[in-house]
Chains A and B, each alone.
Chain A
Amino acid sequence: MPEVETQIRAYFDEVVERVTDEDIRIRATTERGIPIRSPRFQIRPIAAVAIGFGIAMTVLGGVFIAEAWFVPETADVAGNGVGSSTGNAERHSPGLLLLLMAGFGLLAFGMWSVRRSAGDVRQRGDDDMQTIERPETLQAPSGELTRLRKRNRLLGWAVVILAVAVMGLGAWLISDVVASDDLTTVPAEVDAALETYNAAWLETNRAAFLDATTEEYTFASDQGTYGQASQASQVGVLAYFEFELFERVIMGDGNPYYVASEQRVRFASAGTWYDGVSIVTLVETDGTWKVAQHTWVGEVP
Chain B
Amino acid sequence: MSPIAAVSMVLQGESVAETTVRDESSEDQAFTRFVKEAEPRLSHALAAAYGPEVGAEATADAFVWAWEHWDRVRDMKNAAGYLYRVGQSKARRYFRPRKLFPSAGADGVDATLPILLEELSKNQRVATVLIHAYGYTERETADILGLSRWTVRTHAERGLARLQEALGVKAHA
Contacts and interface: CB of A to CB of B under 8 A. Distances in A.
A2 interface: yes
Contacts of A12: 44, 47-48, 52, 129, 133-134
B53 A131 contact: yes
Contact of A129 (B95, B113, B132): B95
Interface in B18-60: 21, 24, 28, 31-32, 35-36, 39-40, 43-44, 47-48, 52-57, 59-60
B172 interface: yes
A4 B109 contact: no
A5 B173 CA distance: 11
Contact of B36 (A2, A17, A21, A25): A21
A14 B107 CA distance: 10
Nearest to A146: B24
Interface stretch (B9-17, B72-80, B97-105, B143-151): B97-105
B104 A15 contact: yes
Nearest to B97: A129
B23 to A, nearest CB: 11
Interface in A1-31: 1-21, 23-25, 27-28
A37 B101 contact: no
B52 A15 contact: yes
A278 B48 CA distance: 79
B113 A19 contact: no
Interface residues of B, number: 56
A240 to B, nearest CB: 78
B107 A37 contact: no
B contact face: mostly helix, strand, loop, or mixed: helix
Contacts of A19: 35, 39, 43, 56, 59-60, 63
A10 B67 contact: no
Given A5-B132, A146-B24, A21 B93 contact: no
Contacts of B105: 14
A40 interface: yes
A124 interface: no
A5 B68 contact: no
Contacts of A15: 47, 52, 101-102, 104
B119 interface: no
A23 B62 CA distance: 12
A18 B113 CA distance: 21
B137 interface: no
Q: Which 6 A-B pairs have the closest CB atoms?
A: A8-B133, A9-B133, A21-B35, A17-B56, A15-B52, A24-B63
8 contacts: A11-B109, A12-B52, A15-B101, A16-B52, A16-B56, A20-B35, A27-B60, A129-B57
Given A38-B95, A129-B53, 10 more contacts: A1-B167, A2-B169, A7-B109, A8-B132, A15-B102, A25-B67, A27-B61, A41-B93, A131-B56, A146-B24
